[in-house]
């Protein structure tokens, strides 16, 4: 019986040889498990069509120049992590590592490094992707200053990713956090202040579009402007009267109410 012979062979070895055999087995197992993990992760990422989502980002292009791809890199990273864990375990079995304490620290630290690297990678890809998407949305606006916005979005995403990675590694990030808070405050508070009218118009506009109390072709009076509704979108209603077209923000419609003229 092969299993019996193997056990007999194992029993004949000295303790040191036994450890070596276990270590080799663990390393081999780690290799296989790492490869399987990488394969599974890759399949999952492809199944979520991440490879299409990241297409065209600078990160993906760099990866492709190096003969790889973002998906493959991410998968390889996961596989590498699994293998590293196996390798550490094998080294411990062999007793090569100096002390139990060191191993304990290593075990604590490794996942953090892994997550930090993962976060930075995902952050890089997400930042590139965000830059692309925002840039595409703004492409119809032919204004040189507008190119600043995609860059700003990219830097913000990267900043948050780096912050997470650093805090994973245990680096003091207090100052950076304060900066982030100030930045978020600026974006949300001041942005909210600036977009206040747009936001309230959009909220009203969604109600108006869903319920359609009036529609294109109806005669209405809103805030003193009477005419025929020509166009409704999320933000404004266009009311036209004898060649004069009023652009009425939708929040006015809800605040002041609208009068719809019904023919008898």
Partner 1 sequence: MSELGDLLDDIVADVDSVFLFSPSASLFERFADAETPVVVVSPENDVDADNYVELPLEFRDLSERIRFGIEGGLDNEFLEEGDQVACATKLYADDIDTVSRVRAGDFEHSGVYDLFVNSRADPNVIRNVLEVAIELGKKGQKGKRVGALFVVGDAGKVMNKSRPLSYNPFEKSHVHVGDPIVDVMLKEFSRLDGAFVISDAGKIVSAYRYLEPSAEGVDIPKGLGARHMAAGAITRDTNAVAVVLSESDGLVRAFSGGEIVLELDPEEY
Report the interface residues with partner 1, using CB under 8 A: 209-210, 212, 215-217, 219, 228-233, 238, 240
d(CA 110, CA 130): 30
Q: Which is nearer to partner 1, 116 or 222 (CB)?
A: 222
Q: Which is nearer to partner 1, 55 or 240 (CB)?
A: 240
The percent of the chain in helix, strand and coil, each rounded to the nearest 5, is 70, 10, 20
Least distance (Å) between residue 253 CB and partner 1: 16
d(CA 130, CA 153): 7
Least distance (Å) between residue 229 CB and partner 1: 6
Nearest Cα neighbor of 71 from 31, 123, 125, 113 is 125
Q: Count other Cβ atoms within 10 Å, centred on residue 41.
A: 19
- Continuous H helices in 54-195: 58-65, 70-94, 100-137, 148-168, 174-185, 191-194
Angle separating helix axes 174-185 and 148-168, nearest 10 degrees: 150
CB 226 within 8 A of CB 241: yes
Least distance (Å) between residue 144 CB and partner 1: 13
Q: Which is nearer to partner 1, 160 or 236 (CB)?
A: 236
- In three-state secondary structure terms, 170 is coil
Least distance (Å) between residue 211 CB and partner 1: 8
The DSSP bridge partners found for residue 225 are: 222
Least distance (Å) between residue 248 CB and partner 1: 14
**Cα first-last separation, the chain:** 100
Least distance (Å) between residue 209 CB and partner 1: 6
Q: Which is nearer to partner 1, 163 or 253 (CB)?
A: 253
Pull the structure tokens for residue 82.
């699994």
Least distance (Å) between residue 208 CB and partner 1: 11
Q: Which is nearer to partner 1, 108 or 231 (CB)?
A: 231
Q: Which is nearer to partner 1, 83 or 214 (CB)?
A: 214
Q: Which is nearer to partner 1, 65 or 142 (CB)?
A: 142
Q: Count other Cβ atoms within 10 Å, centred on residue 129.
A: 21
């Amino acid at each position: 019986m092969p299993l019996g012979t193997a056990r007999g062979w194992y029993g004949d070895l000295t303790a040191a040889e036994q450890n070596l055999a276990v270590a080799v087995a663990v390393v081999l197992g780690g290799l296989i498990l790492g490869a399987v993990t990488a394969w599974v992760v890759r399949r999952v990422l492809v199944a979520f069509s991440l490879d299409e989502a990241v297409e065209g980002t600078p990160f993906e292009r760099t990866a492709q120049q190096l003969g790889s791809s973002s998906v493959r890199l991410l998968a390889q990273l996961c596989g590498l992590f699994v293998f590293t864990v196996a390798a550490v375990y094998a080294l411990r079995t062999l007793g090569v590592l100096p002390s139990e304490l060191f191993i304990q620290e290593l075990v604590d630290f490794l996942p953090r490094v892994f997550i930090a690297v993962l976060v930075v990678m995902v952050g890089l890809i997400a930042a590139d992707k965000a830059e692309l998407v925002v840039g595409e949305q703004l492409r119809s606006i032919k204004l040189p200053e507008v190119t600043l916005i995609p860059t700003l979005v990219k830097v913000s995403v990267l900043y948050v990713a780096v912050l997470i990675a650093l805090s994973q590694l245990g680096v003091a990030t207090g100052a950076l956090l304060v900066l982030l808070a100030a930045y978020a405050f600026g974006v949300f508070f001041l942005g909210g202040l600036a977009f206040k009218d747009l936001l309230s118009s959009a909220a009203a506009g969604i109600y108006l579009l869903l319920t359609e109390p009036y529609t294109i072709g109806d005669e209405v009076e809103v805030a003193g402007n009477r005419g025929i509704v020509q166009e409704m979108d999320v933000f404004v209603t266009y009311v036209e009267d004898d060649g004069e077209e009023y652009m009425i923000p939708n929040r006015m419609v809800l605040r002041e109410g609208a009068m719809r003229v019904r023919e008898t």
